[in-house]
Amino acid sequence: MTGNQLGWREANRAHWDERTALHLGTGGYNFAALREGRAQFTAIERDELPPLGGKRIVHLQCHFGADTLKLLQHGAASVVGLDFSGPAIDAARALAGELGFAARVRFVEADLYDAAAVIPETGTFDMVYVTWGAICWLPDIKRWCEIVARMLRPGCSLYLADGHPAALVLDDAAATSDGMPGFYAPYFSRDPVIYCESEDYIVGNTAFQHAETHTWIHPVGEIITGLIEAGMRLDWLARCRSLAHVPHSHARRRGPVPLAG
């Protein structure tokens, strides 16, 4: 069945269920540093994150929880991780148990838009943590902003680190005659980019059984305005000076022209 037959959420969930198996298999993520208690954040996060000691954090769209557990290793008091992929949440719970964090972390299998309904601690967190390629999978960024604001207790913060959405407009696999990247999708379009994935950002080239995905480009202004309208205040906005510090899958979009957009 195609994503159009399944619906965008079901198509994306099937794809991420499959991608989770890849990431946990041979050639997937290396958990050695995490298991040894020395896992590090990206250079950007190391420079920007405030001290985590004693903080209660919710990690939205946490995949199989590697970064969720990293927050605990760097001092967070407790973390709730949420993701819509059942296999990813199962893996996260197993990894938390293996590393001895089961008492300080809880993983919730649910759609992002149901977060406020399924997390009883809504309104009590010190930080919402969202990083690297998460929000492009959501069609309604305004609802995401409202959910983020509802998660936090007064005076607390969202940490969002991601590639600039303008990077999704360009296609470095379809260069123009002058060597510049080709055009991929309109920056201000509200339509989904429906794409047939042929490459995983960890494993590399692969043949997905559930290859069709639906993503959306959310301009920076739309994200910031949505958060302010939800009752938050912008304290700072930083930019990365080098793509070398950004996970490669989110710096640029590679691959064939999307199926529709």
pLDDT block averages, 10 residues each, the chain of length 261: 64 93 84 90 90 97 95 97 97 96 97 96 96 94 97 95 82 74 76 80 78 91 95 84 39 31 27
For residues 152 and 63, give the distance between their C-alpha atoms in angstroms, rounded to a whole number. Answer: 21
Q: In the prediction, which pLDDT does 201 show?
A: 72
Record the pTM.
0.86
Q: In the prediction, which pLDDT does 240 show?
A: 59
Q: In the prediction, which pLDDT does 186 show?
A: 75
Q: In the prediction, which pLDDT does 244 show?
A: 38
For the domain covering 3-20+51-251, report its CATH number.
3.40.50.150
Q: In the prediction, which pLDDT does 252 show?
A: 29
- For residue 228, CA distances in Å to 113, 153, 180 come to 19, 16, 35
Q: Other C-beta atoms within 10 Å of 186: how many?
A: 12
First to last CA, the chain: 19
Q: In the prediction, which pLDDT does 6 show?
A: 53
Q: In the prediction, which pLDDT does 152 show?
A: 97
Reading the block at residue 186, the tokens are 């309109």
| Signed CA dihedral, 74, 80, 84, 85: sign only | positive
How many residues are present in the chain? 261
For residues 103 and 160, give the distance between their C-alpha atoms in angstroms, rounded to a whole number. Answer: 26
Q: In the prediction, which pLDDT does 153 show?
A: 94
The amino acid at residue 126 is: D
Q: In the prediction, which pLDDT does 250 show?
A: 32
